[in-house]
């Protein structure tokens, strides 16, 4: 009985502490590589974008092998990212980071603009 109480308390604290956003209005410059159409079995389908953070501009920048995957909910943002992928352009992505999500990645793209 004590084990069940501790398990219930742990799960309750995890859900309560995991709600909300850890940070909002974050900014990154990256090169989008592909749009991924995720179809999990239990959760609803969603789109995400795989971006490379290793950016070179005018021969200066970082050669990083680090990639990030961000969820794209807005169809207009997804279209803009798809266009940038086809052109091979860099993008400035604004995103919010959630504390905890069951079905998706924690970072959600809110805005995407081409870097001049």
Which CA distances in Å does 100 have to 19, 80, 92?
7, 27, 24
Q: For residues 50 and 69, what is the distance between their CA atoms, to the nearest angstrom?
A: 5
- Model confidence over 90-115: pLDDT tens digits? 999 999 999 888 888 899 999 999 99
**In the chain, where the domains are located:** 21-114
Beta strand pairing call for 67-72 and 107-114: parallel
pTM: 0.76
Q: Does the domain made of 21-114 have the CATH classification 3.30.1380? A: no
pLDDT for position 10: 73
Residues 16-75: tens digit of each pLDDT: 666 788 889 999 999 999 999 999 999 899 999 999 887 666 555 556 677 889 999 999
- The pLDDT assigned to 64 comes to 64
């Amino acid at each position: 009985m004590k084990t069940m109480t501790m398990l219930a308390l742990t799960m309750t604290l995890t859900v309560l502490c995991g709600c909300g956003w850890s940070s909002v209005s974050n900014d990154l410059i990256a090169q989008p590589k592909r749009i991924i159409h995720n179809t999990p079995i239990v959760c609803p389908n969603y789109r995400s974008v795989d971006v490379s953070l290793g950016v070179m501009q005018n021969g200066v920048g970082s050669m990083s092998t680090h990639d990030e995957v961000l969820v794209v909910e807005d169809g207009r943002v997804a279209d803009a990212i798809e266009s940038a992928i086809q052109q091979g352009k860099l993008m400035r992505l604004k995103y919010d980071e959630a504390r905890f999500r069951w079905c998706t990645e924690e970072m959600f793209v809110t805005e995407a603009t081409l870097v001049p």
